[in-house]
Structure 1
């Protein structure tokens, strides 16, 4: 069981990275990754919300929606849960950790519209289902969150280096950003062999 959960975590983090393989959360990936501080802050907030959303939505889906054949309400319900969780996180941070609240600033409300959070929550439940259970779903969501962090931090470092590089004018801006993102995505394919051996 533990070996399977470790394999799920590594797979979700490296080989099935939701940003680089499914393009979920690509807008913040390209927009927020200009500076390392903002990339880390956004990623940590996304990890927290992803994990909480999966912890809340998995039992609701399995115990309420699925038995009552209301699974068509999954997306609407999950969006409402994610929005409520983001508001809850915002209230708690504002009251108990105001410095972190100020540093995250506008990025906290943006998590509600981050398609990676909704996508991971839905895909984790679809993958886990009744066959694997709650632990599998939570570990998968945690791995997806850490994969988000790894991709954001790596890409942020690359973008900071590109700012100091001499790049031809026709590559400046979005062209070099997209080329760099494609190389980061390709580099993650090298991890496929590791996960295949674990499974």
Structure 2
């Protein structure tokens, strides 16, 4: 249940584009055609799915305070968390270079259409944001880190795919001259962000229901305790009265 909840939250509620507005430069520049948006979105999913678990391992076993205890008790006090940014960016850059080589080898047309924005994934704040959010939220297991990376990538993919499809249709629409280009794109992005935020109630309703049930149970227990205490006091008073009458 935890895996499913984290997966859908990272796609819809904590969407990289619509919730935190990360990766907007690539989102706006490469979303003029659906074909290029699909290619870049798939590359982002792959990079996030690989870098978030790798950076989780780096954080758990090298960077965080006490992570080096596996080397021996004398290393238990070491804290290398100040190297997080450098290590995370190095991992991301390595994976982006791998993606660039693969795309250039197997799809030269996509490589040419993406242009400079494919190597710029290395400095895409959405990719680094995935690893930093993973670290700040203290995701406990490697499986959840992989889940979060894939979900965040799919969320970014859906965002750029949706805006690319809309921009292709807008090209044949009568948009006011003052809003043509990025103006109408920002307006549509804001409207889609509102739509994605509506999923929050769907995914948190179960938690609220469970909390409500637990509070009702606790109230019933407290009321039962109060009734039991009142009955005990009454029985004590009756016992005292019977003793006095017997005397």
Cα deviation, residue 7, structure 1: 0.6
SS at match of 2:138: helix
- Normalized against structure 1, the TM-score is what? 0.90
Structure 2 counterpart of 1:120: 130
Residues 18-57 of structure 1 show CA distances to partners (whole Å, capped at 9, x for unaligned) of 1111011011111111110111100100110111111211
2:151 paired with 1:143: yes
- Normalized against structure 2, the TM-score is what? 0.73
- Name the CA distance, whole Å, in 1 between partners of 2:26 and 2:96: 16
Number of positions where the alignment pairs a residue of Structure 1 with one of Structure 2: 192
Structure 1 counterpart of 2:236: none
- Contact 1:128/1:137 (<8 A) preserved: no
- Contact 1:42/1:104 (<8 A) preserved: no
Structure 2 counterpart of 1:79: 89
**Residues 1-199 of structure 1: matches in 2 within 5 Å?**
3-66=1-64, 67=67, 68-94=78-104, 98-105=105-112, 106=115, 107-129=117-139, 132-197=140-205, 199=207
Displaced runs of 4 or more, over 4 A: none
Residues 113-158 of structure 1 show CA distances to partners (whole Å, capped at 9, x for unaligned) of 21110111111222134xx221111111110000011111111111
| Structure 1: segments with no counterpart, 5+ residues | none
SS at match of 1:43: helix
- Name the CA distance, whole Å, in 2 between partners of 1:128 and 1:136: 10
Q: Which has the higher contact order (CA 8 A, sep 6+)?
A: 1
Larger Rg: 2
SS at match of 1:18: coil
Superposition CA RMSD, Å: 1.5
- Name the CA distance, whole Å, in 1 between partners of 2:171 and 2:102: 36
